[in-house]
Amino acid sequence: MRRILIIDDEDDIREVAGLSLEATAGWTITTASSGAEGIRVCATANPKPDAILMDVMMPDMDGPTTFRKMQETPGVAGIPVVLLTAKVQGVDQRRFAGLGVASVLFKPFDPLTLAQQIADVLGWPSV
Amino acid sequence: MCLGGRVSEAAASAAEKTAALLKAMWERNLPVLRERVGGLSAAAEAAVAGGLSEELRVEAAGVAHKLAGSLGMFGYPEGTAIARELEVALGEVEASGTRLVELVRTLRDALPL
């Protein structure tokens, strides 16, 4: 069973993403409401999440900054990160893709197909 | 029943469960959504009156961004499209009050608030 850590400052996004991944794929979900909390949760998790789904625009520490800090954190670096963004402009998409994240998905996502989208971009078997 | 039938039944059941949970979440989040749309309305009215401060404009753009990212997942893609237009309009330093009022009205009409 896959384990996913969802990091988003928006309660409704965390809740919808979590319930959709649980209901449609049976994945185990952990959530964090900020980048700092996400790094802390991930660093202490045992077992580690198989992937991290993280918002781009968050107060205090945004998704790209959190991703860079993750790569410097033992036990967290190397876990595939999928960014979630409501930014649709090409310049933003290219900037996020250039960070070294596994993929970038766009909000609003379809709760019924989110798990399959994640599986597809991470090369996991179909859910 | 063949395996394919059981798989599609399971998928249909997951889809129904997800749809029911989304509906319940939408209803639970209505007060927050109303507050957000109300905030956008206040920003639009302030712009019409020539009193849209930089702080309020940036805050309202952030609210529009959040709505753009969430309304579609609840089944309101038109709401997402209008919220995106609002985010772009509010991103301009000299945001047009008339345009903002029109967009907020369209957003309200697109949502069962």
pLDDT score at B1: 52
**pLDDT, position B6:** 64
Asked if the peptide bond before residue A111 counts as cis, ω within 30 degrees of 0, the response is no
* Domain ranges for chain B: 29-110
Q: Answer yes or no: are the C-beta atoms of A66 and A38 closer than 8 Å.
A: yes
Strand order in the sheet with A3-7: A28-32, A3-7, A51-55, A81-85, A103-106
pLDDT at residue B8 tops 80:
no
The pLDDT, as a whole number, for residue B18 is: 82
Per-residue confidence (pLDDT) for residue A31, from 0 to 100: 98
What are the pLDDT digits (tens) for B10-68? 777 778 888 888 899 999 999 999 999 999 999 999 999 999 999 999 999 999 999 99
pLDDT at residue B3 greater than cutoff 70? no
pLDDT, tens digit, for every residue of B17-33?
A: 888 888 999 999 999 99
> Please, what is the average pLDDT of chain A?
93
Average pLDDT over residues A1-11: 96
Region A81-93: what's the mean pLDDT?
A: 84
pLDDT of residue B7: 60
Q: Tell me the pTM.
A: 0.88
Q: Is A122 on the interface with B (CB under 8 A)?
A: no
Q: Is the pLDDT of residue A93 over 90?
A: no
pLDDT of the residue at A98? 85
Q: Which pLDDT value is given to residue A100?
A: 92
pLDDT value at position B15? 80
The pLDDT of residue A115 is above 70? yes
ipTM over 0.95: no
Band of the pLDDT at B4, cuts 50, 70, 90?
Answer: low
- What's the CA gap between A3 and A47, in Å, rounded? 9
- What chain A residue is nearest to B17 in terms of C-alpha separation? A23
The CA radius of gyration of chain B, in Å to the nearest whole number, is 18
The kind and range of the H/E element at A125 are: none
Q: Quick check: A108 and B17 CB within 8 A?
A: no
Query: Which of the residues B18, B36, B88 would you substitute to probe the A interface, choosing the one with the greatest number of A C-beta atoms within 10 Å?
Result: B18
Q: Span B81-92, mean pLDDT?
A: 95
**With bands split at pLDDT 50, 70 and 90, how would you rate the model's confidence at A60?**
very high
Considering only the beta carbons, identify the residue of A12, A109, A112 that sits closest to B29: A12
Residues in chain A with CB shorter than 8 Å from the CB of B66 are 10, 86
Please give the distance of CA A14 from its chain centroid, rounded to a whole number.
10
Among all residues of chain A, which has the CA nearest to that of B79?
A108
Are B70 and A112 a contacting pair at CB < 8 A?
no
Percent of chain A at pLDDT > 70 equals 100
> Residues in chain A, how many?
127
In order, the DSSP letters of A41-108 are HHHH-SSPPSEEEEES--SSS-HHHHHHHHHTSTTTTTS-EEEEE----HHHHHHHHTTT-SEEEESS
Instruction: Give the per-residue pLDDT at A94.
Output: 80
Give all domains of chain A, ordered by start, each with its CATH number.
3-122 (3.40.50.2300)
